C-alpha cells in the first residue's frame, strides 16, 4: 500500500478493469501491466470486453497515450501516509484474501469527512502492491469501479514490453523556488485553496515540455486522492505570450462518478485540472490561483 510500491516492485500481470462511473457507458477491459522495479512500467490495453464506443482502435490508441496517467493516478494508492491517516478511516478485515495466487490483507477505507465513496482494497503485505480494489458509491451502494489482477508473476518477463517512466520531458522543482519560475519562463498560477478537506499542495512541482510548450504541473493530495493542476501560457499567432485581455476566458467542467476534470483559458493561461473531487472543488481551486 506504500506510495512507491508500483514503481519498486518488479512484476508482470494481467488485470481486469471495470469502470461503471457512467451507468450509460460502462467500460470493461483487460490490461497487460508490468514494472521493472526501478521506476519504469508499461500498461497496455489488450482486450476490450464492454464499451459504448464502437471505435475500439481509437480507444486502444488513446489508452497507449495516457498509460502514464493511468499507472500513476487511476488506481487506489496511499500517496502520503501521514495525510492518509489524518483524513481516512480504515478497517482491516480479519480474514486474508487471495488475488491471482497472492495472499492479501483486505482493508475497507472511507474518508472521515464528506465521504462519497467506500473502497475495498486487497494488498500484498510483502510488497505493498495493491492487487485489487473496488469503489462503491456511498449514497446508492452501487459498484463504480473494480480492478483486479487475474494473473501475477513476480519478476515477470518484460522483454516484449516498451517500458516508460514519463511520456513528456519532465524536470522537478520546488513549488516556491525561483528555479521553477525560471524553468517555465512565466509566473505560474499557484492554488491558494485546496479542493477538499485535508488536501495539501505537494511541495514539488514539475515542468513538462509538450509539443515545444512548457507546462507547470502541480499536485494536491489528501493522502489517497490526487488533484492535478496544469498551467501554461497561451501564445499568440506570432509565438509570443498572449496578454490577459487578448483571449476570452472560457472554462469547461465535466464530472463522471467521483472524478472531475476542468479545461479552459483564464487570464492568458491555459489550464487543465483533474481529480477525484467535485466540479465545484476544481472551480474553487482555480479561482484561488487567480487571486
Q: pLDDT 10s per residue in the chain (291 long)?
A: 568 999 999 999 999 999 998 888 899 999 999 999 999 999 999 999 999 887 899 889 889 888 988 999 999 999 999 999 999 999 999 999 999 999 999 999 999 988 889 999 999 999 999 999 999 999 999 999 999 999 999 999 999 999 998 777 789 999 999 999 999 999 999 999 888 888 999 999 999 998 889 999 999 999 998 999 999 998 763 444 545 445 678 999 888 777 899 999 999 999 999 998 888 889 889 999 998
Give the three-state DSSP class for 161: coil
**pLDDT for position 238:** 43
Domain 5-154's class? Answer: mainly beta
Grid coordinates representing 248 are 476570452
**pLDDT for position 249:** 86
Contact 107, 85 (CB under 8 A): no
Dihedral angle sign, alpha carbons of residues 11, 123, 217, 20:
positive
Looking only at the bridges linking them, the beta strands covering 169-174 and 204-210 are antiparallel
Domain ranges of the chain: 5-154, 169-289
**pLDDT for position 16:** 98
**pLDDT for position 1:** 57
Grid coordinates representing 80 are 502520503
**pLDDT for position 237:** 38
The continuous run of DSSP H or E covering 22 comes out as none
Q: What fold characterizes domain 169-289?
A: Phosphorylase Kinase; domain 1 (3.30.200)
**pLDDT for position 146:** 98
Same fold, 5-154 and 169-289: no
Grid coordinates representing 3 are 506510495
What's the angle, vertex CA 269, arms to CA 263 and CA 271, rounded to 5?
25
CA distance 245 to 253: 22
> What totals of helices (H) and strands (E) does the chain contain, helices first?
6, 17
**Other CB atoms within 10 Å distance of the CB of residue 242:** 18
String of DSSP letters for 42-109 = EEEEEEEEE-S-S-HHHHHHHHHHTHHHIIIIIS---S-HHHHHHHEEEEE-SS-EEETTEEEEEEEE
Amino acid at each position: 500500500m506504500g506510495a512507491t510500491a508500483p514503481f519498486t516492485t518488479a512484476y508482470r500481470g494481467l488485470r481486469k478493469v471495470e469502470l461503471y462511473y457512467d451507468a450509460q457507458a460502462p467500460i470493461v477491459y483487460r490490461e497487460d501491466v508490468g514494472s521493472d522495479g526501478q521506476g519504469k512500467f508499461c500498461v497496455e490495453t489488450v482486450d476490450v470486453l464492454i464499451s459504448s464506443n464502437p471505435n475500439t482502435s481509437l480507444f486502444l490508441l488513446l489508452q497507449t497515450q495516457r498509460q502514464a496517467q493511468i499507472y500513476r493516478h487511476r488506481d487506489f494508492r496511499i500517496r502520503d501516509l501521514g495525510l492518509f491517516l489524518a483524513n481516512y478511516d480504515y478497517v482491516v478485515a480479519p480474514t486474508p484474501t487471495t488475488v491471482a495466487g497472492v495472499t492479501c490483507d483486505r482493508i475497507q477505507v472511507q474518508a472521515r469527512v464528506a465521504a462519497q465513496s467506500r473502497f475495498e482494497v486487497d494488498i500484498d503485505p510483502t510488497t505493498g502492491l495493491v492487487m485489487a480494489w473496488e469503489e462503491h458509491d456511498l449514497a446508492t451502494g452501487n459498484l463504480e469501479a473494480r480492478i483486479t489482477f487475474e494473473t501475477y508473476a513476480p519478476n515477470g518477463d518484460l522483454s516484449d514490453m516498451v517500458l516508460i517512466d514519463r511520456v513528456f520531458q519532465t524536470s522537478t522543482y520546488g513549488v516556491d523556488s525561483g528555479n521553477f519560475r525560471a524553468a517555465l519562463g512565466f509566473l505560474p498560477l499557484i492554488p491558494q485553496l485546496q479542493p477538499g478537506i485535508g488536501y495539501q499542495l505537494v511541495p514539488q512541482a514539475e515542468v513538462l515540455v509538450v509539443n515545444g510548450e512548457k507546462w507547470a504541473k502541480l499536485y494536491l493530495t489528501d493522502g489517497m486522492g490526487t488533484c492535478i493542476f496544469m498551467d501554461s501560457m497561451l501564445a499568440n499567432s506570432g509565438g509570443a505570450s498572449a496578454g490577459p485581455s487578448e483571449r476570452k476566458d472560457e472554462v469547461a467542467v465535466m464530472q463522471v462518478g467521483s472524478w472531475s476534470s476542468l479545461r479552459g483559458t483564464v487570464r492568458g493561461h491555459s489550464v487543465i485540472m483533474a481529480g477525484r473531487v467535485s466540479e465545484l472543488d476544481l472551480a474553487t481551486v482555480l479561482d484561488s490561483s487567480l487571486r
